[in-house]
A = this chain, B = another copy of it.
Amino acid sequence: MYINAISHYLPSTLIQNNYYTQLKGFTDEWIFQRSGIRQRTWAADNENTHTMAIEAVASLVNGLPRDISDVDLIVGATYTPYDTVGTLAHAVQGHFNIHPAAAVTITSACSSFINAVEIVEGYFATGKSKKALVIASEHNHSYSSEDCDQSAHLWGDGAGCVLISAERCSPGDIQIIDVHTSGLGHIGKGVGGICLKPSAGGLTMPYGRDIYINACKFMAAEARDIVEKNRYMLDDINYLVPHQANSRIMDHVAKILGLDASKVISNIEDTGNTGCASTLICLSQNWQRFTKEDLIVVTVFGGGYSSGAMLLRK
């Protein structure tokens, strides 16, 4: 599989840490030290999971030499749905008039983008799809509860998208060498570690410590496993793109893997935790930085729990 094009959208409203100083007494330094966040991106009142996804895809389409009419599969990824019936994937299909195409929207919490790529891999394997559009979009702000002292200040909003083809389309494509996901609903606090119950209070994080421990463990393990399975060594990694939940988790994962901090790509300082869109937005923001033969590892951990990784080669 090959990534042909990538793009993202971040809303223009920036909420600085001092918002939470006024609201909860959390100082800028207290938040930054514990999360790496200085500000977070918030969707405007007229924006939502769908509109951000459409903005990201519009930006992707504008950068292409031709249109996206050959897309035959649309996979949306979000745990913060605007509409679970007229879903993210269907909204993008409708807006860009992409047909015939299969369309489905998925969630595996913050791992969802990697799960979406694995689903694309399956459609490619059956031959039912040759070109897929994957969109990850999160409107955390619409579900986050200011009452949750553990998580309210962490969340950002944003969207990213990639065009993936079964065969190489141009020399600039980045190859997806491998993708892997694991469901981890059976470990630790599992299904109750982070919750988003739309009918009962929105996003809460009752077990932050359990998430921290398991995120470090499984993000490092997923990265190591996918590298070694594909006969590379950890030293071969040029860039690590971890799920942007918390800079301390990212630092810890890099340390476990023995990777220098300069290899870790992060945007959490400026965007907050943009959920399953976070690694996709990071990849998009750094796309021009990657040079020929670069080996890039994306590794994620999500509430629920779940984990996954993707190995890319420029």
| Partner-B contacts on A (CB < 8 A) | 50, 74, 79-87, 89-94, 97-109, 112, 115, 118-119, 121-123, 125-126, 128, 142-143, 181-186, 190-199, 203, 302-306
Given pairs A93-B184, A122-B128, 16 additional interface contacts (CB within 8 A): A83-B191, A84-B107, A86-B191, A86-B192, A86-B304, A89-B108, A90-B191, A90-B305, A93-B185, A93-B186, A101-B183, A103-B184, A104-B112, A104-B181, A106-B107, A118-B128
Shortest Cβ distance from A86 into B: residue: B191
Minimum C-beta distance from A147 to chain B (A): 16
Q: Within the oligomer, what is the number of copies of this chain?
A: 2
- Among candidates B79, B125, B181, residue contacting A125 with C-beta atoms closer than 8 Å: B125
With A and B bound together, what is the CA distance between A98 and B79 in angstroms?
A: 22
CA distance A282 to B190 in the complex (A): 32
Contacts A108-B103, A306-B103; is A81 near B84 (CB within 8 Å)?
yes
Residue contact B107 to A108, C-beta cutoff 8 Å:
no
For A92, list chain B residues within 8 Å (CB): 185
| Chain B residues whose C-beta falls within 8 Å of the C-beta of A302 in the assembled complex | 85
Q: Could you say which residues of chain B place their CB within 8 Å of the CB of A101? A: 182-183
Residues of B within 8 A of A183 (CB): 74, 89-90, 93, 98-99, 101-104
Question: When the two chains form their complex, are residues B102 and A105 in contact, meaning their CB atoms are under 8 A apart?
Answer: no
The CA-CA distance from A84 to B94 in the complex, in Å, is 24
Q: Which residues of B are found within 8 Å of A94, using beta-carbon distances?
A: 185-186, 190-191
Quote the shortest CB–CB distance from A210 to chain B (angstroms).
Answer: 12
- A97 and B186 contact, CB distance less than 8 A: yes
In the bound complex, residues from chain B placing their C-beta under 8 Å from that of A82 are: 197, 199
Q: How long is the Cα–Cα vector from A98 to B199 in the complex, in angstroms? A: 27
A241–B188 CA distance with the chains assembled, in angstroms: 41
